[in-house]
Homo-oligomer: A and B are copies of this chain.
Amino acid sequence: MLSNNDLYKVLTGKREELPQPPVGYFRSESDKSPGAHGNNGGLMATSEPTATGGDQDPNSANLRPSTNYDAWMQGCTRKLGLKICGFLQKNNSLGEEGRIAGSLSERKNNLFSCDNSDRDARFQRTETDFSNMFARDLLPAKNGEEATMQFLLELVDILTNYVRKTFDRSTKVLDFHHPHQLLEGMEGFNLELSDQPESLEQILVDCRDTLKYGVRTGHPRFFNQLSTGLDIIGLAGEWLTSTANTNMFTYEIAPVFVLMEQLTLKKMREMIGWPSGEGDGIFSPGGAISNMYSVMIARYKYFPEVKTKGMSAAPRLVLFTSEHSHYSIKKAGAALGFGSENVVLLSTDERGRVIPADLEAKILDVKQKGYHPLFVNATAGSTVYGAFDPINEIADICEKYNMWLHVDGAWGGGLLMSRKHRHKFSGVERANSVTWNPHKMMGVPLQCSAILVREKGILAGCNSMCAGYLFQPDKQYDVSYDTGDKAIQCGRHVDIFKFWLMWKAKGTIGFEQHIDKCLDLSQYLYDKIRNREGYEMVFQGVPQHTNVCFWYIPPSLRGLEHNSEEYREKLHMVAPKIKAMMMESGTTMVGYQPQGQKVNFFRMVVSNPAALQSDIDFLIDEIERLGHDL
């Protein structure tokens, strides 16, 4: 009979002892040893204990611990960490109610054969020849457990090596190949699918190759997208999410995740500043869909009959958004039946911020034509300039004309977590809805985007169809937790867990530190290049977000007249050329684009928690190295 101490040592290899239970924590006189928590129906452990210690009492047959004992157990579990946790919980659960297939003794048998004899051994990768093994040999195949564990551990070896390399500056960001090269098959990496199965060895090779020819978006020198970095907690969260493999539509099959979503959305609404964090919201598959939600619910708020009767039940409805805003507002306008011509683009100042007077003038123009101004989108962190529209002034206008105010904080949202930077969101509490993508500035793995709404119940009002096969009203639990019907999706991926876990692990304060650090880094870049020879800023002044937009002017262009067509044409080609060389050499990645009349320029953004000042320096060195002779 093993004591808890023994088991703990067997399971973990640790040499610590379990804490002694306090006086009064014993279940009974026959149970004074902290190690003896029942004789397990007379079953003896099949392997030898690796150490001695702890009394043994074959007579204490009560498998259900007393409350006091429970409390002590819990204390042990917490103190001693995780490894023993599973055993204790399992053992405690032996007394649980509820009918379970298989006899009790069979369960206890499993318990011991699993936990005692080879719990750690199973975790060891052993020498496995996968060349004659196939998917059909894995679970649920009979006796497939060992193969399954070995396969998963082999894969984890590939993945953890990739994680290591991701953070290693001596590795490339990418190993670029053209589509036709990959399609032709790189060194046996064959993308074609066939009728017959491949061996597990080949599958593992394919996994390795998939990573090899991909892009390391977590690399400290990957600056190409608003979403960068590889957060380890977030990664762990995603691994767990895919292992749980469930669906957000009902509490029934995602109880924990549904509640996590509810609590997290409330926290986000509190940060927006809505009273007591009240309101509504949902996680959606990206900022474009979140923005689409905002347009849908604005329409439902003012013209609810459109839901049943269609757009013909409403006057011609017009949406307003910055010329610098994300294209998803226009896309939503097209998809939802407004028409992209009824999405009016607002002029911006030189920093890319909406000019409120232009908004008001355009609203009046639309009204004069007899159309109905419905909705204004204020961008909080524009995609290219990182600009924050003046929310308060826009909110004043929305109130005046009784319009819906949406704030697209897909990119900027993270700044709400920073006491230093959240003033850029001033007025956000006046918005009717807010898009906020934790998968951008906050480093949560893709996808993680929230649409937050001030008015409770309006999402369900807008979208519910009350499908009887999912949302039965006669379930045994409080069905207000079945939130699926307020989505435009039916099945919905669990996007919340990784975010919740990161929040737990970092605290609000950890996100704040990350945000502040990224903004500091971007200021460092700005200070470094704003007066540097060969650089010209696309707009003047410290950027509001981490976006630093600039032209690199190769020496050959520096003598040319800046307003000449020749100069513009040549400069337009500089960023694409440098970018192409960057990708070919695989050293770093940064985005570029034209904007309005402005020719191609670099848009540097910092959201990568791995980036340091030296990486910023590296980027600039690299641009100069590759662009010097253009």
Contacts and interface: CB of A to CB of B under 8 A. Distances in A.
Interface stretch (A23-31, A44-52, A344-352, A500-508): A500-508
Interface in A427-454: 439, 445-447, 449
A524 interface: no
A213 B1 CA distance: 30
Contact of A182 (B127, B157, B256): B256
A289 interface: yes
Contacts of A156: 152-153, 156, 239
Interface residues of A, number: 215
A377 interface: no
Contact of A188 (B78, B82, B122, B267): B78
B508 A154 contact: no
Interface in A292-333: 292, 296, 306-313, 316, 326-328, 330-331, 333
A567 interface: no
Interface string A118-144: 001011110101110011101110000
Contacts of A400: none
Given A85-B208, A207-B236, A501-B207, A507 B195 contact: yes
Contact of A465 (B170, B201, B330, B490): B330
A313 B339 contact: yes
Contacts of A307: 334, 339-340
Contacts of A264: 193
B100 A172 contact: yes
B246 A507 contact: no
Given A89-B212, A224-B253, A253-B215, A576 B202 contact: no
Interface string A204-227: 111111111111011010001101
Contacts of A159: 239-240, 243
A197 B488 contact: no
A337 B337 contact: yes
Interface stretch (A55-63, A101-109, A552-560): A101-109
B163 A243 contact: yes
A153 to B, nearest CB: 7
6 closest cross-chain pairs (CB), A and B: A337-B337, A310-B339, A238-B242, A476-B580, A140-B610, A285-B285
Given A101-B169, A191-B259, A476-B579, 10 more contacts: A139-B167, A158-B240, A162-B243, A193-B267, A203-B236, A215-B254, A306-B339, A310-B339, A383-B469, A476-B580
